[in-house]
Amino acid sequence: MTEMIATRNAYGETLAELGEKNEKIVVLDADLSGSTRTAFFAKKFPERFFDCGIAEANMMGIAAGLATTGLIPFASTFAVFATGRTYDQIRCSIAYPKLNVKICASHSGITVGEDGATHQALEDIALMRVLPNMTVIVPSDANQTRKAVRAIAEYDGPCYLRLGRPKVPVLEEQPFRIGKANVLREGTDCTVIACGHMVSKALEAADQSEYSIRVVNMHTIKPIDKDVIIESARMGPIVTVEEHSVIGGLGSAVAEVVSQHSPTRMKIMGVNDTFGRSGKPDELLSYYHLTTDDIIQSIKEVMR
């Protein structure tokens, strides 16, 4: 049985660990510390934890100010509030001056579940990716989240780390380097490029598909690993899978590279330009056609 851990959990635990080694790390939240798991850090280091209340815009500004004094702020809330609600604050106060702020957002995508559309961020990758100076990371599982949190703490500059609510499969240990995609399976017919927990579904699809599938974990959406995309495009068609709108996210980022460097047939899988809805995470993944079977079907389509 595959072990299941939520990426937000791995985030909270790693942050609390890092707090011991690095006194520069400070953590901010907007009244969701239990859910984002920054509560683990808050419990260990109350003097370095700032609950900003339900005022996300102000939280981003405070994070920017803290960064100017040499501290390393990690600001967390749900992905909808961490990006859409505070877009201009991130744009002007963090990304433009390239301040060392880590925006770590939990509850991304439809797998937020029952809370429904208002709480399901399906645009956050697009919003963060379009900002100059911003690094955008969507780790595939708990192990990769741990490594990503350590990596962004070391990296000097604004980062967006996209985390999720539900428990998702823990994959085999993979190396992690910002901007360097992981090729998890080699194949010869077609490539599936995925991010977040869609990577585990891409692996299942590859195992079950009648074709020989290369599987790429594109954990860093920006800066994107062009070499791996071009290599894949030269081999054959590409399917991208993300728990995000089909507009502006991983699929778009891959298409930008493919169209300019090595055009090939593509299928972008994600939420098809619509809002989310209430339901259980697995029901929602079926509803929006983001299951392993859907990936197998998409592979067939591009191979046709």
Catalytic site positions: 56
218 DSSP assignment: -
- Binding of another protein by 97 (CB under 8 A): yes
Treating both helix axes as pointing N-terminal to C-terminal, what angle do 7-21 and 142-154 enclose, rounded to 10 degrees?
Answer: 40
Applying CB under 8 A, which of residues 16, 27, 39, 67 lies at the interface with another protein?
67
Total Cβ atoms within 10 A of residue 61: 18
Under the binding rule (CB under 8 A), the answer on residue 259 touching another protein is: no
Contact indicator for 25, 153 with CB cutoff of 8 Å = yes
Q: Is 244 in the site for another protein (CB under 8 A)?
A: no
Please say which residue, 41 or 288, places its beta carbon nearer to another protein: 41
47 vs 172 by CB, closer to another protein: 47
Query: Residues 263 to 302: which contact another protein by CB under 8 A?
Result: none
CA angle (205, 122, 85) in 5-degree steps? 155
- How many angstroms separate the CA atoms of 253 and 271, rounded? 15
| Distance between CA atoms of residues 171 and 152, nearest Å | 21
Beta carbons of 150 and 14 less than 8 angstroms apart: yes
Measured CA to CA, the distance from residue 189 to residue 289 in angstroms comes to 23
Choosing from 66, 181, 198, 290, the residue that interacts with another protein (CB under 8 A) is 66
Give the nearest distance from C-beta 57 to another protein in angstroms: 5
User: Which position among 16, 18, 27, 60 is part of the footprint of another protein (CB under 8 A)?
Assistant: 60
Q: Based on CB atoms, which residue is closest to another protein, 45 or 211?
A: 45
| Residue 158 beta carbon to another protein: minimum distance, rounded to whole angstroms | 12
Binding site for another protein (CB under 8 A): 26, 47-48, 50, 52-53, 55, 57-58, 60-71, 73, 88-89, 91-93, 96-98
